[in-house]
Structure 1
Amino acid sequence: MSRAAVRSDVSIAIAVWKALFLREASARLATGRAAWLWILLEPAAHIIFLMVLFGVIRHQVMQGANIEVFVLVGIWGFFLVRNIAQRGMEAISANQALFSYRQVQPVDTVLVRATVEAFLYLVVGAILLTALAMLDIDVRPADPLLVMWAAFLLWAFGLGLGLTFSVVGSLLPELGKVIRLSFTPLYFLSAVMYSVSSLPQGMRSTVLVNPITHGLEAMRSGWFASYRGEAHISLGYLAFWALATVFLGLALHMRYATRLTAQ
Structure 2
Amino acid sequence: MTARVRTPFEVTVSVWRAMFLREALDRLFEARAAWLWLLIEPIIYIALHAFGLETFRIHQVGGIAINMWIIAGFIGLLLWRRTWTQVLHGIDCNWAFFAYRQVKPLDVAIVRAVLELFLMIPIAVVLVVIAIVTGHAITPDLLNPVWLPRDPLMVIVSLIGLWLLGLGFGLVTSVAMRFVRELDHIFKIIYLPLFYISGALFPISIFVPVPYQYIFSANPIVNGLELVRLGFMPDYRTIPGISLGYLYAWALGLIFAGLALYRRFSRKLVMR
Per the normalisation by structure 2, the TM-score is: 0.90
Aligned to 1:207: 216
1:105 is the counterpart of 2:104: yes
- Consecutive unaligned residues of structure 2, counting only runs of 5 or more, are 138-146
- Per-residue deviation, residues 84-127 of structure 1 (Å, max 9, x unmatched): 11121110011011011111000110111111111111111111
Deviations 1:205-239 (A, max 9, x none): 22112110000001101101331112311111111
Q: Please list, as runs of the form range in 1=range in 2, the aligned pairs for 1:1-263 lying within 5 A after superposition.
A: 8-57=7-56, 59=58, 61-138=60-137, 139-198=147-206, 199-263=208-272
Amino acid at match of 1:234: S
Aligned match of 2:144? none
Q: CA RMSD in A?
A: 1.8
d(CA) in 1 for partners of 2:229, 2:56:
18
In structure 2, C-alpha distance between the alignment counterparts of 1:129 and 1:177, rounded to whole Å: 34
1:60 Cα shift? 6.6
Conservation of the 8 A alpha-carbon contact between 1:96 and 1:261:
yes
Shift of residue 36, structure 1, vs aligned partner: 0.9
Amino acid at match of 1:163: L
Instruction: Check 1:105–1:126 CA distance in 2 against 1; reply closer, same or farther (3 A cut).
Output: same
Unpaired segments of 5 or more residues in structure 1?
A: none
Deviates most, 206-215 or 171-180: 171-180
Q: Is the 8 A contact 1:54 1:61 kept in 2?
A: no
After TM superposition, give the deviation of residue 249 of structure 1 in Å.
0.8
Counterpart code for 2:267: T
Deviation of the 1:201 alpha carbon:
2.6
Q: In the alignment, is the contact (CA less than 8 A) between 2:159 and 2:228 conserved in 1?
A: yes
Query: Displacement, 1:195?
Result: 3.8
Q: CA separation in 2, counterparts of 1:142 and 1:57?
A: 28
How many Å apart are 1:37 and its aligned residue?
A: 1.2
**CA shift digits 1:12-31 (9 cap, x unpaired):** 11111111110111111122
What is the count of residue pairs matched by the alignment?
A: 259
Aligned partners of 1:33, 1:66: CA distance in 2, in Å?
35
Q: Is the 8 A contact 2:20 2:112 kept in 1?
A: yes
Task: Report deviation, 1:134.
Answer: 1.2
- Shift in alpha-carbon separation, 1:163–1:247, aligned structure 2, 3 A: same
CA distance in structure 1 between the partners assigned to 2:121 and 2:59 by the alignment: 29
Find the aligned partners of 2:252 and 2:235 in 1 and give their Cα distance.
31
Contact 1:168 1:176 in 2 (8 A): no
Q: Distance in 1 between matches of 2:60 and 2:186?
A: 31
Equivalent position amino acid for 1:143 in 2:
D
Tell me the distance in 1 between the aligned counterparts of 2:116 and 2:83. Answer: 6
Contact 2:214 / 2:240 at 8 angstroms: preserved in 1? no
Tell me how far 1:58 sits from its aligned partner: 5.2
Runs of 4+ in structure 1 displaced over 4 angstroms? 57-61
Distance 2:239 2:110 in 1: 32
Q: Matches of 2:92 and 2:58 in 1, distance apart?
A: 47
- Name the CA distance, whole Å, in 2 between partners of 1:15 and 1:142: 39
**Secondary structure of the equivalent of 1:141?**
coil
